Amino acid sequence: MKTTRITYAIGLAAGLTLLSACGDDVTNVTTKIEIESVATFEKLSKCENDNVGSLAFVADSAKTYTCTEDGWVSTAGIDGKNGEDGMDGDDGSDGADGKKGKKGASGANGKDGTACIAKELSSGEGYKIVCDGDSVGVVKNGTNGPEGEKGEKGDDGEPGDTGEGCEMSPEPNGTYLVTCSNASAEIYTVIPSVPPTPNDSTLIIPTPNDSTLIIPTPNDSTPVATDDPDCAGLTLWCKAESWNYSYRVQTGLDAGYDDSGYWFAYDDHADGGKSEITWPVKLGNEYDGNAFDPVIDHCQGLCGTVTLNKGTLDKSPSVGVGFNLAGTSDGSTLVASTINEWYGICITYTSDLPGQLAIGLGDSLYAALNYDLPHVDLPTTASPNEECFVWTDFRQTGNAGGAAITGPEAAARAVSFLIEFSSNDGDTGDFNIIRLRKYVDRQ
């Protein structure tokens, strides 16, 4: 059998040898075919009849092409099937920790939180929750639970130490001297309930139910000339224009230093409160930066806006205004006056907040009374309203634990009048004090 071997040597390959064996004889036939090599497919030579079967290698695609009757055709075979996935290799060892990165930039500030406060309801039934000025709800007080069973009586306590009391002894001038045995107590002089007066020793202090009382005519009862009917009568203070711009309360009791009747304001800051009065115009005149002249001109009275702020107080917040009856004799020491002959006092005002009219008695007696001054209540009123009071209307609250004093006793040694506004924390309101007059005719 004859065997024929044909070998094709192609391009870069060492050679492709095909061996055919037939019988015992072997014939070696070797044919070399040159392969065209070009950079891109576009640079291949034309595929025509005279070079059908030629091979060419295109460098940019690394493919071999054969010239056929249909032109150049890639000799690449059909993609084989994917082999089976190999087994997962063992996990590698953890790498060393990388270096700490640089600190990143700070983030943007968060939004401000919402502040909330609880305001006690004027009815006392609970609290209104206010957040950033808006009411978000009301929390009402709970009702009392059922009364528990009465417990057994406890053992008697040890007897207490003997208390230290005070003694009152009469003085030649018709006053009483109060002496307390406690070393820390001060000594005060208290006027009796029916004090003598310089001009009328027979004066009887009126009581609210005494309709037959005859009041002596005071020496300064002549009305002040005015063309304003609202200011006629025994006026102490009225609209500024009606008094030719006299901004002082005309008490007629100046002690000689010419500083009586000037208005002043006070607040609760010394005790921890933050209440204040806002005036409608700037205070001050050419002599005093705190004078109320511009306010009185603006309001035709003494007016302002009260804002109550409890702060750290353990009591209700308050602010007020007032004036001294006699002023001072030396510019520093306040002088007391007897005003029983006035019979009482009338005030015309407007106010959004409840107030009190109190008789001021000076620092020493004020402390002895434990700051519980005889006073009367001033109800709220939107339109000008006159309230008149006799001295027996003025009373202490009676629960402060200090010395006791009646309204007529206070009128016999009055230092000032105080008009105070007090209510719940956070309350605000306007007021205007329009007129003050002596109450001598009970009309």
Please give the chain's pLDDT, 443 residues, in tens.
433 333 333 433 333 333 344 444 555 544 556 788 888 988 888 898 888 888 888 888 888 888 998 888 887 766 667 778 878 888 888 888 878 878 888 878 777 666 787 777 766 677 778 776 677 677 777 777 777 777 777 777 777 665 555 666 665 544 556 565 544 444 444 443 333 333 332 222 232 332 222 223 333 333 344 456 667 666 788 875 544 557 899 999 999 999 999 999 999 999 999 999 999 999 998 888 999 999 998 998 999 999 999 999 999 999 999 999 999 998 888 999 999 999 999 999 999 999 999 999 988 888 899 889 999 999 999 999 999 999 999 999 988 788 899 999 999 999 999 999 999 999 999 999 999 999 875 54
Amino acid at 417: F
Contact indicator for 306, 277 with CB cutoff of 8 Å: yes
Q: Please check whether residue 197 is in contact with residue 203, taking contact to mean a CB–CB distance below 8 angstroms.
A: yes
Q: Do 201 and 420 touch, CB atoms closer than 8 A?
A: no
d(CA 351, CA 303): 9
Q: How far apart are CA 325 and CA 251, in angstroms?
A: 6
- The one-character DSSP state at 395 is B
d(CA 151, CA 147): 11
**Where are the domains positioned within the chain?**
1-33, 39-75, 164-193, 197-438
Three-state DSSP at 130 gives: strand
Q: Which residues of 116-155 are buried (b: 16+ CB within 10 A; e: fewer)?
A: eeeebeeeeeeebebeeeeeeeeeeeeeeeeeeeeeeeee
What whole-number distance in Å separates Cα of residue 247 and Cα of residue 260? 11
Tokens of 49: 């009849």
Q: Write down the pLDDT at residue 179.
A: 61
Could you give the CA distance from residue 247 to residue 301 in angstroms, rounded to a whole number? 10
What distance in Å separates the CA atoms of residue 305 and residue 302, rounded to the nearest whole number?
11
pLDDT value, residue 15: 39
How high is the pLDDT of residue 152? Answer: 79
Q: What is the pLDDT of residue 19?
A: 39
User: Kindly report the CA angle at 34 between 79 and 75, in degrees rounded to 5?
Assistant: 15
User: What is d(CA 94, CA 81) in angstroms, rounded to the nearest whole number?
Assistant: 36
| Nearest CA-CA partner of 389 in 442, 323, 325 | 442
Contact 358, 375 (CB under 8 A): yes
Q: What is the DSSP string of 261-325?
A: S-EEEE-SGGGT---EEE-SS----SS-TT--HHHHHHHTSEEEEEE---TT-SS--EEEEEEES
Kindly state the tokens that stand for 132: 């950033």
